[in-house]
Structure 1
Amino acid sequence: MIKNAIEKYQQEKGKKIQLKAVLFDMDGVLFDSMPNHTQAWHQTMTELGFRCSRDEFYLYEGATSSYTINRYYHRVHGRNVSEEERKTIYHRKTLHFNALPIADPMPYALEVLNSVKAAGLIPVLVTGSGQKSLLDRLNKHFPGIFEQELMVTAYDVHHGKPHPEPYLLGLKKAGVEPHEAIVVENAPLGVQAAVAAGIFTVAVNTGPIEDAILLKDGANLLLQSMEELYRNWEDIFSTIK
């Protein structure tokens, strides 16, 4: 499965993967924070009178707040949300999010990150999040892994996922080309963004999303958890090498 996925990517791109960097999403990959995000979004939008289910917010993971809110404004009001409305709604969502128990690190995330560092590769954070409470916890739970200049957050981009800009910026910050990196993602929009940037994309399905959705969005390799990624890391790395 791993060898076939890598060979297929290389045939499609006409280039061999020469791995130098690994780009990581944060929510749902490094932290088990998506249940909090989806609860906060669901609570916010239902308070505002929008009909929605909690699980559908997993589909918008990694997107900007404007993208997420616009989905409902178009559905109900037939227009984009104004910047003033967006700020008010996102502030309410942030308050709900911060009132929830702090999310734990994703099991085996640290082991994966340590394996990446041990292999001499550059770890890069590429997140659609602007939650300072989570960003501040990276150094606490993953000390010595991420450097500030190798982080891409919601504040760094004009276009969030599924646009490729976040991952293209991650490549630029690491000084590598698409064929010199792989992405670890868990969200459909994140997978779309990574694939659009031309990077080999490993999807770890840590939420309730159907596997078929992540594969349809272009994931090159599908795993079920960060633990499975850790267990298969040596196989992935040695096959690429």
Structure 2
Amino acid sequence: MRMILATNPAPCSCQGEQVAGPCRYPHTRSRCMQSTGKYRAVLFDFDGTLADSESAHHRVWNEILGEMGSHIDDEEYKRESSGVPVTQEVERLIRTRGLAISPQALVARKVERTVASFTRDPIALMDHALEMLEWCRDSGLPMALITGSGREEIAPTLEHYDLARFFDHIVTRNDVTHSKPHPECYLKGLSLCGLEAAQAVAIEDTCHGVNAAQAAGIDVIAIPNAYSRGQDVSRATVELAGLAQARDWVDARRVKRQP
């Protein structure tokens, strides 16, 4: 596993007279020049990274496919479906199963069933997800949510746990033309945050997500879960066991202001 360490911390982007306009960060220019570390923001994936939703997505797919005489077993879901945006997944399912339904209709059905399921039975968060978000907030690290799901699909979970309050920006499938592994969603997140790729770190659980962040030039922490553990995440900067370890890893490399 390739691991990149911030042995030569990048200087603060608002250092000295290079600033155009007011400093983006809540400290003076003299303090700015004394900051250490690299990362100024954390960009989070949602499904499988913050929300323990993969098993629920699998269940919803099987409810829909069962009505059409089909099924996705555990191994196929882990290998082919985990982390794949619904717009891509429907094309594969229609092709491999000969389903008599249009991609648009199948996407609409999946979104409708997902929203109903997640509203009726709120999904759990991944271990230490809330603690990670609270730590980022308390440490002054801006956060963005970068997800291949649509706004409707993530809304029940965001509302149930009041998660939207943590994020400065949210980028969903509805906000981009190309889904992961294309880097568009991450490039949009960087633009919204006003940062260069080297100033952010992404946290992902699947190869699609890792490859999207890496293609955008962003360091990425891979945290595979039970559904994505067999996927190739070798392009990640580092692979860790969970969000608690990710917090410590980011803390050692984030921008810190020294008195």
Deviation at 1:107, TM superposition (A): 1.9
Find the aligned partners of 1:144 and 1:98 in 2 and give their Cα distance: 19
Find the aligned partners of 1:192 and 1:128 in 2 and give their Cα distance: 13
Residues 38 and 254 of structure 2 are in contact (CA less than 8 Å); yes or no, is this contact kept in structure 1?
no
Counterpart residue number, 2:252:
235
Counterpart residue number, 1:29:
49
Counterpart residue number, 1:5:
3
Letter of the 2:158 counterpart? L
Counterpart residue number, 1:167:
186
Residues 126 and 152 of structure 1 are in contact (CA less than 8 Å); yes or no, is this contact kept in structure 2?
yes
**Counterparts of 1:45-84 in structure 2 under 5 Å?**
45-58=65-78, 59-77=80-98, 82-84=102-104
Task: Give TM-score, length-normalised by structure 2.
Answer: 0.73
**Counterparts of 1:148-163 in structure 2 under 5 Å?**
150-163=169-182
Residues 61 and 189 of structure 1 are in contact (CA less than 8 Å); yes or no, is this contact kept in structure 2?
no
Aligned positions, number: 227
Find the aligned partners of 2:198 and 2:185 in 1 and give their Cα distance: 16
Q: Say if 2:206 is the partner of 1:178.
A: no
After the TM superposition, which of the residue ranges 129-138 and 197-206 deviates more from structure 2? 129-138
Higher fraction of helix: 1
SS in 2 for 1:192: helix
SS in 2 for 1:168: helix
Query: Which one of 73, 76, 97 corresponds to residue 117 of structure 2?
Result: 97
Find the aligned partners of 1:235 and 1:180 in 2 and give their Cα distance: 14
Query: Which one of 219, 237, 240 corresponds to residue 220 of structure 1?
Result: 237
Counterpart residue number, 1:14:
none
Letter of the 2:222 counterpart? A
Mark the CA change 1:91 to 1:106 in structure 2 (over 3 Å): closer, same or farther: closer
Letter of the 2:122 counterpart? I
Letter of the 1:25 counterpart? D
**After superposition, what is the alpha-carbon deviation per residue over 1:182-236, rounded to whole angstroms, capped at 9, x for unaligned?**
1001122111111111110101112233356222xx1111112223323544334
Counterpart residue number, 1:196:
215
Find the aligned partners of 1:92 and 1:184 in 2 and give their Cα distance: 27
Residues 127 and 243 of structure 2 are in contact (CA less than 8 Å); yes or no, is this contact kept in structure 1?
yes
Residues 6 and 38 of structure 2 are in contact (CA less than 8 Å); yes or no, is this contact kept in structure 1?
no
- Unpaired runs of at least 5, structure 2: 9-36
SS in 2 for 1:193: helix
Find the aligned partners of 1:143 and 1:156 in 2 and give their Cα distance: 16
Counterpart residue number, 1:120:
140
Residues 112 and 233 of structure 1 are in contact (CA less than 8 Å); yes or no, is this contact kept in structure 2?
no
Find the aligned partners of 1:9 and 1:162 in 2 and give their Cα distance: 29
Q: Which has the larger radius of gyration?
A: 2
CA RMSD of superposed structures (Å): 3.3
Find the aligned partners of 1:138 and 1:101 in 2 and give their Cα distance: 13
Task: Give TM-score, length-normalised by structure 1.
Answer: 0.78
